[in-house]
């Protein structure tokens, strides 16, 4: 278990190289994002994803989201990108918005019991983006034991996860310190599953709909 101070350019480079090596070896890393710290694994290594779920004390019924390092990556992961997804990506990525979409049936990954869907996000954090562009899509969940508060800095993540993680990338406190907003685009109409830093009203404005239609509330 090693921690790297990403505020120092040399240590950041060494830390990212160590994280790449750990991920390629099927091990876990903790990385900073704009929302909360993430616990990450190679999305295409089913044993590593299983280890991630085990580290959190979480079952397959709560599948792991995927972080991507660019807009273009989504095209290879999704069965068909809905127009609503394009609009939301253009408005809010990189940023604190997660999108649930139908995954491409050809993908050879096992993120848990996903029912053919995947939750995707492009984080607004330079360390996360650098790592993602080196290793490709990562299975990333909040860096905490299930049921405990999400870690908003590396110390909190380390206190909860300890030596279950090979590499901790420490970039100081997360800026948003709140989990992302989640929009489900797998149904007939978009639905906000969780409101986070991006408000329902902001989502509604981009999609040209009434906020109530996104939450199921009766006006």
Task: Give the distance between the most distant pair of CA atoms in the chain.
Answer: 54
Q: Say what the pLDDT of residue 80 is.
A: 86
Strands 191-194 and 181-184: antiparallel
pLDDT tens per residue across span 168-190:
999 999 999 999 999 999 999 99
- Rounded CA separation 39/37 (Å): 7
pLDDT at 45 over 60: yes
Residue 86 φ then ψ, to 5°: -60, -45
pLDDT the model gives residue 217: 59
Whether 218 shows a pLDDT value over 70: the answer reads no
The pLDDT tens digits for 88-119 are 999 999 999 999 999 998 888 988 888 899 99
Return contacts of 193-201, CB within 8 angstroms, 24+ apart: 193/100, 196/35, 196/96, 197/35, 197/95, 197/96, 198/92, 198/95, 198/96, 198/97
Going by pLDDT thresholds of 50, 70 and 90, the confidence category of residue 86 is very high
Higher-confidence residue of 205 and 219: namely 205
The tokens for 81 are 């990108």
pLDDT tens-digit series, residues 26-37: 999 999 999 999
Helical segments of 77-172, H only: 83-92, 126-135, 154-161
Angle formed at CA 186 by CA 180 and CA 191, multiple of 5 degrees: 50
C-beta of residue 74 within 8 angstroms of C-beta of residue 120: yes
Single pTM value for the model: 0.94
Q: Which domains does the chain have, with CATH numbers?
A: 2-215 (3.90.870.10)
Per the prediction, the chain carries an average pLDDT of 94
Cα separation, 56 vs 70, whole angstroms: 27
């Amino acid at each position: 278990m090693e921690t790297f101070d990403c505020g120092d350019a040399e240590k950041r480079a060494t830390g990212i190289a160590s994280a790449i090596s750990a991920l390629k070896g099927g091990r876990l890393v903790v990385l900073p994002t704009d929302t909360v710290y993430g616990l990450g694994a190679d999305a295409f290594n089913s044993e590593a994803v299983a280890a991630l779920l085990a580290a959190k004390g979480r079952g397959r019924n709560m599948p792991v989201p995927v972080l991507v390092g660019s807009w273009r990556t989504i095209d290879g992961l999704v069965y068909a990108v809905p127009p609503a997804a394009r609009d939301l990506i253009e408005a809010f990525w990189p940023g604190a918005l997660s999108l649930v979409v139908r995954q491409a049936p050809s993908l050879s990954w096992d993120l848990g019991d996903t029912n053919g869907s995947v939750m995707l996000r492009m984080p607004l954090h330079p360390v996360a983006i650098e790592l993602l562009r080196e290793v490709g899509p990562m299975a990333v969940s909040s860096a905490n034991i299930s049921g405990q508060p999400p870690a908003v800095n590396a110390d909190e993540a380390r206190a909860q996860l300890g030596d279950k993680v090979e590499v901790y990338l420490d970039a100081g406190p997360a800026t948003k310190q709140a989990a992302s907003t989640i929009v489900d685009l797998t149904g007939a109409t978009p639905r906000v599953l969780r409101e986070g830093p991006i408000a329902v009203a902001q989502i509604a404005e981009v999609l040209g709909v009434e906020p109530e239609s996104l939450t199921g509330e009766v006006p």
